[in-house]
Amino acid sequence: MTVSKTMDSGAQVSVSTTSRARFNSDLPQVWIGIALIAVTGFLPSLLGNSYWVHTFHLVNIYIAAAIFQNFLFIDAGQKSFGQGVLLGLGAYVTAIFFGMHGYSFAAASLIGLFAAFLGGLLFALPALRVQYFHLGFVTLSAAIVFPQLLMSLDKWTNGINGISVAVPWIHHEVIFGLSWLTIMVAVYPMLALVVHYAIRNSRLGRQMRVAALSPEAARTLGVKPGVMRFLAFIIASIGTGICGILYLPAVSFVSPQGFNMEMSFLFFMAVVVGGRGQLLGPIIGMWIVFILPNVALVEYVDYRLLIYGTLTLLTVVLFPDGIVGSVERWRKARSVLGRGEKAFRIDPFLERLKNNTQFTPSDTEYAVEVRNGVKRFGAVVAVGGVNMKVRKGEIHGLIGANGSGKTSLLNVLSGLSRLDEGSFLINGHDATRMAADRIANTGLGRTFQTPRIFTQLSLWENLRIGLDASTTSPSEGIRQLAAQLEAEFGQDNAELLSHGQRRLVEVMRVVLKEADIILFDEPAAGLSQSERADFAKLVRFLSRNLGKSVILVEHDLDLVWGIADTITVLEQGKSVASGAPEALARDPAVQHMFVGGARA
Ligand SMILES: Nc1ncnc2c1ncn2[C@@H]1O[C@H](COP(=O)(O)OP(=O)(O)OP(=O)(O)O)[C@@H](O)[C@H]1O
């Protein structure tokens, strides 16, 4: 059921009155996770059960490592199979300096952490160049090589004999039978959980997720995907290195066999079994994959790799989203079933941006100038010598038959592909060789032919990444608009949007970015009549009230003719006509192209 309510501005907004499942359950998951870790972390000590105390020391350390694996895997999209190496580096290097060279535990730990950081750098560098299964191979190779390396560097590592250490003070009771170690290994995974939550809900975290989901869209929002991957590896390596430092006094011994490939697999499987991307996933997953073979099925502990594998296989088949992920999916599906889609309309939000300023397109300044631009794909000439001038503040329609080079030209202008010949200027500056993120940061924004909507993010987060991409602090109007959008769509599921609404969300994202030059790639495709009317109004508003320059690639010629100040016609990659719509409509050379079409 929907009702209309009146906003402060007087605009009518469609609002669903049925309550929906909150899209984001991250915060409840953090609280549940903290409670679970507290119970298992402290209860064994309170009960005085030393077997469970030791077991849960390890479980909690591994949970923290799996939390960083989860972050790296899902939030940053990095398929690392070598996180055990980073834990091993933290533990081993600390053991070498503390156990063999007599450094204090604190100093040795810092060196151990630095070693894990360097290990993270080593993973991060290939991640700048290789992705997907290539990266998996690189990190898996590291996991295979690491124990061999520890063996062969026996002069420093004591080889197969390993290193024994004793940190007596860390086992001393602090309060209620809890030792320093018990407190540290319980508090650390809680902290890791909070850090994961905090990063995920920060600007950096959102940009990381967008870079992982669509590097192309991220670049047009001013984000460098390589930098995001690099930062993610560094964060995860430091987080996992600390696990290594805690592992050392918990086990009092390190040896190459302790850091074989199995450890890296354990973290990975905990994430998959528990629920990829769910904050609670690594906790539930680690309990299942570690406790089941090592405690519940202790007689079969030699078969633990088989058990890990079987558990993972069963989970993937029965619960593709993992245990927590499946519960989440059920929760959301249950509460939105049959409730239809929530209206997402642009019109009411324009009220927020209304001002009395009136802009007219400039006659002397150009937002975009393309000079003899050529773009080839092998033998195909997608753009074959285009010349085009877009005046500041105007709506410039770019039309032509399928395959005439419109999208290729937009890709060049947004920096996603490079011209082979010719040049182009943005606001009078040569941008021919500029990277996409730099172009985005100079004030250009775009939408895509297939809207880039990220269903892992809430509807509001999908919009908010536009706000994140803004290089200036938001104007008062945008601030108010953002607050209104958050209030309206803060907990809505972007997955439920229709195709047309997805387009409008992408359009609104560019508005929030406060781009000065906006490229729309077939924005009206799939929109209903009323959505088209809304969109046309928005484009006029952007140009006339906010002074934006717009390039509009569109097949709906009525729409283009209705709102464009200038139209350029492309034919087989060449600009064959350009001018005001009225003049073009009378041009026989243009008319013949649209025989049977809207303007014929
Ligand atoms: N990445 C690519 N690799 C090879 N050829 C490409 C690539 N991108 C575009 N092309 C080719 O370049 C030409 C222009 O394509 P483009 O998508 O720019 O046209 P368009 O005018 O946007 O078409 P439409 O209206 O159908 O979206 C087409 O022949 C297309 O097949």
- Confidence label for 19 from pLDDT (cuts 50, 70 and 90): very low
Alpha-carbon span 569 to 400, nearest angstrom: 6
Which is more confidently placed, 592 or 365?
Answer: 365
Q: How far is CA 477 from the centre of its chain?
A: 27
pLDDT computed for residue 298 by the predictor: 66
298-329 pLDDT per residue, tens: 677 677 778 777 877 888 888 888 999 999 88
Q: For position 600, what pLDDT does the model report? A: 36
Phi, psi of 76 (to 5 degrees): -110, -5
What separation in angstroms does the CA of 376 have from each of 381, 383, 385, 418, 421? 4, 7, 11, 10, 9
Work out the burial of residue 127: count CB atoms within 10 Å of its CB; fewer than 13 is exposed, 13-18 middle, 19 or more buried.
buried
Burial state string for 457-491 with b = 16 or more CB within 10 A and e = fewer than 16? bbbbbbbbbbbbbbeeeeeebbebbbebbbebbeb
Nearest Cα residue to atom 28 of ligand 1: 403
Ligand 1 near 572 CB (within 6 A): no
Residue nearest to atom 7 of ligand 1 (CA): 377
- Which residue among 376, 380, 447, 576 has the greatest number of ligand 1 atoms within 8 angstroms of its CB, and so is best to mutate? 380
The H or E element spanning position 112 is: helix 105-129
User: Is the CB–ligand 1 distance for residue 411 below 6 Å?
Assistant: no
Burial class for 509, CB neighbours closer than 10 Å (0-12, 13-18, 19+): buried
Average pLDDT over residues 194-212: 96
Element (H, E) at 576: strand 574-579
pLDDT above 60 (res 82): yes
Cα-Cα-Cα-Cα torsion 353, 357, 358, 363, nearest 10 degrees, comes to -110
Confidence of residue 336 (pLDDT cuts 50, 70, 90): low
Q: Check whether 5 has a pLDDT greater than 70.
A: no
Mean pLDDT calculated for residue range 230-245:
95
ipTM of the assembly?
A: 0.96
DSSP H or E stretch at residue 571? strand 566-571
pLDDT at residue 12 above 60?
no
Instruction: Determine how β-strand 566-571 pairs with β-strand 395-400.
Output: parallel
Can you list the positions of beta strands (E) in 144-228? 163-164, 173-175, 178-179
Q: What is the three-class DSSP state of 452?
A: coil
> In 78-227, where do the E strands start and end?
163-164, 173-175, 178-179
Ligand 1 geometric centre to CA of 405 (Å) = 6
Q: Is the pLDDT of residue 161 over 70?
A: yes
Residue 595's pLDDT band (cuts 50, 70, 90): low
Nearest CA, atom 13, ligand 1: 382
- Strand (E) or helix (H) holding 206: helix 203-213
pLDDT of residue 339: 43
What percent of the chain is modeled with pLDDT above 90?
Answer: 55
- Answer whether 485's CB lies under 8 Å from 349's CB: yes
Give the span between the Cα atoms of 137 and 140, in whole angstroms: 5
For residues 62 and 535, which has the higher predicted lDDT (pLDDT)?
62
**DSSP letters of 473-535?**
PPPHHHHHHHHHHHHHHTT-BGGG--HHHHHHHHHHHHHHHT-SEEEEESTTTT--HHHHHHH
CA of residue 307 relative to chain centroid, distance = 33
- pLDDT grade for 117, boundaries at 50, 70 and 90: very high
How remote is the CA of residue 218 from the centroid of ligand 1, in Å? 21
How many other C-beta atoms lie within 10 A of the C-beta of residue 159?
15
414 lines ligand 1 (CB under 6 A): no
pLDDT reading at 343 higher than 80: no
Tokens of 15: 């609002």
State the closest ligand 1 atom to the C-alpha of 378, by its place in the atom list counted from 1. Answer: 4
Whether 405 lines ligand 1, by a CB cut-off of 6 Å, is yes
The whole-number pLDDT of residue 334 equals: 66
**Does residue 382's CB lie within 6 angstroms of at least one atom of ligand 1?**
yes
Taking only the tens place, the pLDDT of each residue in 490-541 is 878 888 888 888 888 998 999 999 999 999 999 998 888 888 888 899 899 9
Q: Is 320 in the pocket of ligand 1 (CB under 6 A)?
A: no
Domain ranges of the chain: 26-260, 347-593
Query: How many angstroms from the chain centroid is the CA of residue 433?
Result: 26
User: For residue 123, what pLDDT is reported?
Assistant: 83
Closest ligand 1 atom to Cα of 383: 14
Cβ–ligand 1 contact at 407 (below 6 Å): yes
Choose one of 216, 406, 408 to mutate for the ligand 1 pocket test, by most ligand atoms within 8 angstroms of C-beta.
408
* Ligand 1 atom closest to the CA of 570, numbered from 1: 21
- Regarding the beta carbon of 352 and ligand 1, being less than 6 Å apart is answered no
414 DSSP assignment: T
**Mean pLDDT, rounded, for 90-98:** 96
Rounded distance from Cα 371 to ligand 1 centre (Å):
20
As given in the structure block, the two tokens for residue 43 are: 């209860």
pLDDT (0 to 100) of residue 3: 35
* Percentage above 70 pLDDT, the chain: 91
Q: Which of 482, 506, 523, 197 is nearest to 349 (CA)?
A: 482
- Please give the backbone phi and psi of residue 112, each rounded to the nearest 5 degrees, phi first: -60, -40
> Residue 276, SS3?
coil
**Hey, what are 75's tokens?**
């939030």
pLDDT, tens only, 414-470:
999 999 999 999 999 999 999 999 999 999 999 999 999 998 888 899 999 999 998
Confidence of residue 17 (pLDDT cuts 50, 70, 90): very low
**DSSP secondary structure letters along 378-410:** TTEEEEEEEEEEEETT-EEEEEESTTSSHHHHH
| Residue among 374, 406, 410, 419 whose CB has most ligand 1 atoms within 8 A, to mutate | 406
Among protein residues, the one with the nearest Cα to ligand 1's atom 24 is 402
Tens digit of each residue's pLDDT (9 = 90 or more) over 390-415: 999 999 999 998 999 999 999 999 99
| Model confidence band, residue 14 (pLDDT cutoffs 50, 70, 90) | very low
Q: Which contiguous run of DSSP H or E holds residue 243? A: helix 225-251
Point out the ligand 1 atom lying closest to the alpha carbon of residue 410: 18
Residue 215 CA to ligand 1 center (angstroms) comes to 20
Residue 573 C-alpha to ligand 1 middle, in angstroms?
A: 9
Q: Is the pLDDT of residue 10 over 90?
A: no
Fold held by 347-593: Rossmann fold (3.40.50)
Q: Quick one: pLDDT band at residue 16, thresholds 50, 70, 90? A: very low
Average pLDDT, the chain: 87
Lowest mean pLDDT among 281-285, 354-358, 476-480: 354-358
For the Cβ of 402 lying below 6 angstroms from any atom of ligand 1, the answer is: yes
Contact at 8 Å (CB) between 276 and 320? no
* CA dihedral for 209, 212, 213, 216, sign (positive or negative): positive
164-188 tens-digit pLDDT: 998 889 888 888 888 999 999 999 9
Q: Read out DSSP for 307-359?
A: HHHHHHHHHHHH-TTHHHHHHHHHHHHHHHTT--PPP--SHHHHHHH--S---
Name the residue with the closest Cα to ligand 1, atom 12.
382
Asked whether the beta carbons of 539 and 552 are under 8 A apart, the reply is: yes
Of 35, 55, 34, 36, the closest CA to residue 45 belongs to: 55
User: Does pLDDT of 338 surpass 80?
Assistant: no
- Ligand 1 closest atom vs CA 404: 21
